[in-house]
Structure 1
Amino acid sequence: MLPKWFLQHWRLLFGVLLLSAAVTTLALNLYVKNLTSSRRYNNPNQIPPQRVAIVLGAGIYNDRPSPMLADRISAGVELYKLGKVKKLLMSGDNSSEDYDEVTVMQRYAIKMGVPKKDITLDHAGFKTYESCYRAKEIFGVKQAVIVTQNFHLPRAVYLCNQLGVDAVGLGSPDWGSYRKDTVMRYTFREYLSTIKALWQVHITRPQPTYLGPFEGIK
C-alpha cells in the first residue's frame, strides 16, 4: 500500500517530475546548440574548405527526394560547385530493395552537375548517429561539412565531432520553407533525439546496424 503522504501529494510530485524533465531536456539541448554554434553556418560561402560533405538522407517518394532531402542535396551540390568540397558522401536508408535513398540522392546530384565519380554512397546511414559513425570507420572521413536542415544541425555536428569527425555544418532552410506544423513536429522530435544522442555518445556508444569492411573515399 502506498504511503498516505504520497496519496495526498501525488499530483504535485508528478508535476515536479514533469517540470524537472522538461527543464533538463531544454538545458541539454541548449548545451549542444551553444557548443556547436561556432561550427554551424547558413551561408555556403563562409564554409571553410573540406574534402568531403556528408549529406544526410531525409526520405524519398518513389524515385524522387522529399522536399527536405532535395534542399539538403542542393546545398551539398552548391558546396561542390563553389569548390568548398571535392567529394559528396550521400548517407541514407537503403534498408530494402524498394527503398533506396542514396541512389535517389546520387541521381539528383548528377542531374545538378556533380560527376558520379565524386559521389560516394553509404547505404546504411539509417540514423544520424550511424551516418557519423560510419563516415569515420567505413569511409575514413576525419574532417567534413555535414549538410542538413537548421533544426537538425546542432545534433548532427555534435554527433560527428564526438564520433571522431572534425565537422562543421551547413544548415539548409527550415522555418518558412515548409509547413509550420511539419517543422514544429520535427523540431520537437529533435529535442528528444538530442537527449538520445547524448546518451549514445557518452554512455552506451553502440555500434551501427551494419559496419562491414573499410571502403574509403577515393
Structure 2
Amino acid sequence: MRVRWRARLHRAVRLGVAAAIVGGLITAESSMWLRLQAQGHVFDVASVPPAPVVMVLGAQVYDDGSPSPFLQARLELARQLYAAGKVQAILVSGDHMDWGYDEPGSMWLWLNARGVPAGRIIEDHAGFDTYDSCTRARRVFGVDKMIIVTQAFHLERAIALCRHVGVDASGVGDTTMRRFRLPWAQASVREYGAADKAAWDVLSGRDPVFLGRRETSVQDALNQG
C-alpha cells in the first residue's frame, strides 16, 4: 500500500512539474509576442507622433468618484498630449458595469476640470478590459489611429492588442507611479497572467462583453476643427 501511495505521489509531482513548465512556456511566448508587437511604438510625450485621438485606459476610481493616483497619472499624460497639440480628442474607456461605479465619468470630470473642453472628451462606458477597449475603439468609435496612455508595465499589452484589432496604435507609459513600490511590483507581476489572457483573446477573436451600435462621437469631436 505504501509503495502504491508513493508511486501516485511521484506521478502527481511529475505532472505538476510538467504543467508548470508548459504554463511557463506559454506565458513566455505570450509575453514575447506582446513585446514584439509593441516594439518601435513606445514613446514619451515629447517624441510620440501626433494622432487624432488618445485613449486613456481605465483604472480604479474611489467611492467619492475621484480617480486613483494611477488613473490620475494616465489622465495627466493625456492632458499633456492635448495641450501640446499632439491629439485633438481624448477617448476615456473604462468600467461602468455597475451604476454606482463610473470610471469614464470620473475621467471626464478630471480632464474637463483641468482645461480639456467637454466636446473633446468621449466616454466609452464598456471598456471592461484592455481587449474590449481596443476592439470598441475600432469597431464602435471608428478609430483607426491613436495614442494609448497607461502605466508603463501595461503599455506593451495595450499597444499589441490595439494593433491586432486594426488600430495604428502608439503609446506613452507613465512611470511616476513607481514611487508606490508595492502596488507597482504587484501589478507588474500580474502582467504575466494578463499576457496569457491577451493571447487567448487574440486566438479566440472574441467580441467584447458589450459591443453595441456604431457611434459618431469621436468623429464629431474631431470635426470641431
Q: TM-score, normalised by structure 2?
A: 0.89
Deviation string, structure 1 residues 121-143 (Cα, Å, up to 9, x no partner): 00111111110011011110000
SS of the aligned residue for 2:178 comes to coil
CA gap 1:4/1:197 in 2 versus in 1, 3 angstroms: same
- Corresponding residue to 1:128 among 124, 130, 139: 130
* 1:1-218 equivalent positions in 2, closer than 5 A: 8-41=10-43, 43-61=44-62, 62-173=64-175, 176-178=178-180, 180-202=181-203, 204-216=204-216, 217=218, 218=220
* Distance of 1:98 and 1:8 partners within structure 2: 51
1:25–1:109 CA distance, 2 compared to 1 (3 A): same
Name the aligned partner's letter for residue 52 of structure 2: R
Residues 157, 7 of structure 1: CA spacing in aligned structure 2 closer, same or farther, 3 A cutoff? Answer: same
Q: Residue by residue, what CA displacement relative to the aligned partner does 1:81-120 show, whole Å, maximum 9, x if unpaired?
A: 1111000000011112211111110110011110001000
Percent identity among equivalent residues? 35
Quote the Cα distance in structure 1 between the aligned partners of 2:189 and 2:72: 22
Question: CA separation of 1:209/1:13 partners in 2, compared to 1, >3 Å: closer, same or farther?
Answer: closer
For 1:13 and 1:88, how far apart are their aligned partners in 2? 49
Query: Which 5+ residue runs of structure 1 have no aligned equivalent?
Result: none
Shift of residue 22 of structure 1?
Answer: 1.7
Secondary structure at 1:84 match in 2: coil
Question: Runs in 1 of length 4+ with deviation above 3 angstroms?
Answer: 2-10
**Aligned pairs, number:** 214
CA displacement 1:119-171 (0-9 Å, x = unmatched): 00001111111100110111100000011000000110011011111101110
Cα distance in 2, alignment partners of residues 38 and 87 from structure 1? 23
Quote how far apart the aligned CAs of 1:176 are: 2.6
Residue aligned with 1:215, SS: coil
Partners of 1:215 and 1:196 lie apart in 2 by 27
Q: Flag structure 2 segments of 5+ consecutive residues without an equivalent.
A: 221-225
**Contact residue 178 and residue 184 of structure 2 kept, 8 A:** no
